[in-house]
Copies of this chain bind each other. A is one copy, B any other.
Amino acid sequence: MSRLLKQQQALLPAPAHELAEQMAEAGYKVTQPRLAVLRAAVALDKAFTVHELEQWLLERNESPGIASIFRTVKLLCDLELFQRIHGLEDCHRYSISGGHAHHLICVSCGALKSFDNCGLRDLITTLEQQTGYHINDHVLELFGHCPRCLTV
């Protein structure tokens, strides 16, 4: 098994209670509305929108106010437990982060795989030398079709 595959398997999303724990460690209270958002995000198991979180919760009659959902998503992004997804058309999706930066996203169903070995170091070094820029961050997202959607 290659090193890259091992890494990917290590990047499974954390379960809700683990995310809750990290929130508590960061000094935030693990309230019912926040837990609800965590449960929804874990259950959706893909790149989700705030609207999708709300729908999932409404169907189970446990949706907090929409403001609290937005607030919780923002908080979790700040804590780097969630991450904004840069889509091809819009950037209104989020994922459970796992602390890693990059995603492979199915444009058909939203299924998402995370990875962290983006292999951009050489490109960054080259560009820095050629442009004089100091590069300290990047966005990388890959899009395609997951095996399931390829067979449908």
Contact = CB atoms under 8 A, between A and B. Distances in A.
So how many copies of this chain end up in the complex?
Answer: 2
Contact of A86 (B91, B134, B147): B91
A2 interface: yes
B137 A88 contact: yes
Contacts of A142: 124, 127, 135, 137-138
Contact of A132 (B90, B130, B146): B146
Given A119-B123, A127-B104, A86 B132 contact: no
A5 B130 contact: yes
A91 B88 CA distance: 11
Interface string A130-150: 111111111111111111001
Contacts of A117: 123
A134 B150 contact: yes
Contacts of A130: 2, 4-5, 8
A126 interface: yes
Given A115-B127, A119-B119, 17 more contacts: A2-B130, A8-B131, A86-B141, A87-B139, A104-B133, A106-B133, A113-B131, A113-B133, A117-B123, A119-B123, A132-B146, A134-B145, A135-B143, A135-B144, A137-B143, A138-B143, A139-B139
Interface of A: 2, 4-5, 8, 86-88, 90-91, 104, 106-107, 113, 115, 117-120, 122-124, 126-128, 130-147, 150
